[in-house]
Structure 1
Amino acid sequence: MRVFTKKLSALLLAVGLTAALTGCGGKTESAADTKDQLARIQESGTIVIAMEGTWAPWTYHDENDKLVGYDVEVGSKIAEKLGVTPTFVEGEWDGLLAGLDAGRYDIMVNGVDITEERSEKYDFSTPYAYNRTAVIVSSDNDTIHTLEDLKGKHTANTISSTYAQLAEQYGAEVTGVDDLNQTFELLLSGRIDATLNAEMTYYDYMKEHPDAQVKIAVLTDDANKVAIPFRKGDDSATLREAVNKAIDELRESGELKELSEKYFGTDISTMEQ
């Protein structure tokens, strides 16, 4: 009977140990499941960054088909600050946002403006670029100094754009065009007085056409804030804090300014331009 009792005790002890180990294992797995997005990224060693890859100078392919651009370098520097490797995934705008929602991408770095509508759905980082509206005129035009001076003037934009609406709001007659090149053709030929567009669009155009006889006559005081969207919720909170810290450090070190001047010909990393 003693032998049987000893065997039974040993068996019960073994079962108890197995249960205890299983319990510990369960706790470990549960802890892994509760790791937030930043912890998962650092554990994997890579951050998946979504962008279009077709929008120069933000994200585009150079003559060697290499993915380059302002946002590519900004994303790379943020990844370096986080101690991980960036993996860039290209796609169409709507698909990128859907992929962010579904968790296929960690962040989207693609010149995204902060808007009220987007802020309802996403949390945003500290802005890393600022984009004001510019009234662009020919170099010899000295008749436009404020938005109010657009009254009675002829401008050109795609009809459905907010720039066309703003020009009409200030009394301009707007000619509809299909694209930016057509707009500048009309301006340079003297068939329109001005065009309204993003400040950075002007700088990009001048980078490609340095001898173009055009200038900025007016810059709006308010600027669109360009930032990085995150999925809403506590899961991404520490990642957003880490990205904000990285952006602040890149701005303080002058690296954002350097990248801005490289791709846009001016510093877009601050409101004080």
Structure 2
Amino acid sequence: MRKLFAATVVASVLALALAGCGTKNTTGNGAPPAGEQATDQQVQKAESLLDKIKAEGKIKIGTEGTYSPFTFHDPSGKLTGFDVELATEVAKRMGVEPVFMETQWDAMFAGLDSERFDLIANEVGIRPDRQEKYDFSDPYITSPAMLAVHKDNTTVKDFADIKGLKAAQTMTSNLTDIARENGAEIVPVDGLYQAIDVLATKRVDVTINDGLSMLVFLKEKPETPIKIVAKYPDAAHNGFVFRKGNEELVEAVNKALDEIKQDGTYLKISEKWFGTDVSN
């Protein structure tokens, strides 16, 4: 009986040992030890965003689609504009297809954070608080902020005059910061067109908006009852925006931008939309 029991114990021990030999060896964090092949998930994790974009053959670009002349829809419904055209040319130089994903301005950065798109092309001002969280391309356009009022307004002549007045602004724009700094009461709007509409109908007193955008708008619709009364002294430098940690993608975009400027393509796009070079 004792011999039978002993034989049973030995057999059990051998079975456990053999089972242990068949178990895949891993490190404490679940990663394979040196010399073993990584899983597909680990390979994907190590892959850079630029590698992923090139592998898929497309780059996802966040933009408003309501911000003329930078990103808007023409009468046929096609998405167009300075930023759209420039971003399309950048994608072409990178050998990938641009896929534009339209988003309201106030949700633009949240869309980038959630990886809904790979970069933002929407004339975004480069400023220190944004640079703490995001990376920017080299500047590709410079434009001053301008203060506009209704044509009947004779009291507002400069930014210092807007204290206590209602200003139509998108909530997270650097242009809104200028309005706040000068004591205006912010009235939220979705974009330039809505800001001009509420100003023209006297539902607000002022709006501070991109100077190039307003000049183009008034050139196309000179009957609009608003006027520009002041230009902000510090012009904004704007660039494409990226999530932190994607240096290879930033470098690839900057390389494409430099090529576009060097071979004259930038000047052609700039003159098409503004009649001049807006890079400086």
Letter in 2 for 1:38: L
More helix by share: 1
**1:20-59 to 2 correspondence within 5 Å?**
26-27=37-38, 29=40, 30-59=42-71
Unpaired runs of at least 5, structure 2:
1-24, 26-33, 151-155, 190-194
Counterpart Cα distance in 2 of 1:39 and 1:225? 29
* 3-state SS in 1 of match to 2:90: helix
* 3-state SS in 2 of match to 1:98: helix
2:136 to 113, 124, 137: 124
User: What percentage of aligned pairs have identical amino acids?
Assistant: 34
Is it true that 1:238 corresponds to 2:248 in the alignment? yes
Aligned partner of 1:255 in structure 2 is: 265
* 3-state SS in 2 of match to 1:109: strand
Unpaired runs of at least 5, structure 1:
1-18, 139-143, 187-191
Aligned partner of 1:189 in structure 2 is: none
Q: 1:52 to 1:137 in 2, by over 3 A?
A: closer
Letter in 1 for 2:91: A
Whether the 8 Å contact between 1:79 and 1:85 is mirrored in structure 2 is: yes
Shifted more, 176-185 versus 61-70: the winner is 176-185
Q: Deviations over 1:217-260 (max 9, x none)?
A: 76444211211111112xx1110001111112222333233323
1:165, distance to aligned residue in structure 2 (A): 5.1
Counterpart Cα distance in 2 of 1:162 and 1:122? 19
Counterpart Cα distance in 2 of 1:168 and 1:248? 40
Counterpart Cα distance in 1 of 2:188 and 2:241? 31
Q: Deviations over 1:69-88 (max 9, x none)?
A: 11211111110111111111
TM-score, L = length of structure 2: 0.65
Counterpart Cα distance in 1 of 2:108 and 2:60? 12
Q: 1:24 to 1:105 in 2, by over 3 A?
A: farther
Whether the 8 Å contact between 1:203 and 1:266 is mirrored in structure 2 is: no
Counterpart Cα distance in 2 of 1:123 and 1:165? 25
Q: 1:39 to 1:129 in 2, by over 3 A?
A: same
Q: Deviations over 1:112-147 (max 9, x none)?
A: 112222222111111111121235699xxxxx99x6
Q: 1:133 to 1:246 in 2, by over 3 A?
A: same
Whether the 8 Å contact between 1:251 and 1:269 is mirrored in structure 2 is: no
CA RMSD in angstroms comes to 4.0
Aligned partner of 1:62 in structure 2 is: 74
**1:106-117 to 2 correspondence within 5 Å?**
106-117=118-129
**1:58-137 to 2 correspondence within 5 Å?**
58-134=70-146
Shifted more, 247-256 versus 48-57: the winner is 247-256
Aligned partner of 2:196 in structure 1 is: 180
Letter in 1 for 2:144: R
Whether the 8 Å contact between 1:156 and 1:177 is mirrored in structure 2 is: no
* 3-state SS in 2 of match to 1:26: coil
Counterpart Cα distance in 1 of 2:161 and 2:62? 42
**1:150-165 to 2 correspondence within 5 Å?**
157-158=167-168, 161-164=176-179
Whether the 8 Å contact between 2:60 and 2:117 is mirrored in structure 1 is: yes
Counterpart Cα distance in 1 of 2:188 and 2:102? 29
Would you say how many aligned residue pairs link Structure 1 and Structure 2?
A: 232
Q: 1:86 to 1:209 in 2, by over 3 A?
A: same
Whether the 8 Å contact between 1:51 and 1:108 is mirrored in structure 2 is: yes
Q: 1:199 to 1:230 in 2, by over 3 A?
A: same
Letter in 2 for 1:255: T
Whether the 8 Å contact between 1:157 and 1:164 is mirrored in structure 2 is: yes
1:214, distance to aligned residue in structure 2 (A): 9.0
Q: Deviations over 1:46-98 (max 9, x none)?
A: 11111121222221111111111112111111101111111111122344322
Aligned partner of 1:3 in structure 2 is: none
Counterpart Cα distance in 1 of 2:148 and 2:116? 40
Whether the 8 Å contact between 1:167 and 1:196 is mirrored in structure 2 is: no
Q: 1:220 to 1:39 in 2, by over 3 A?
A: same
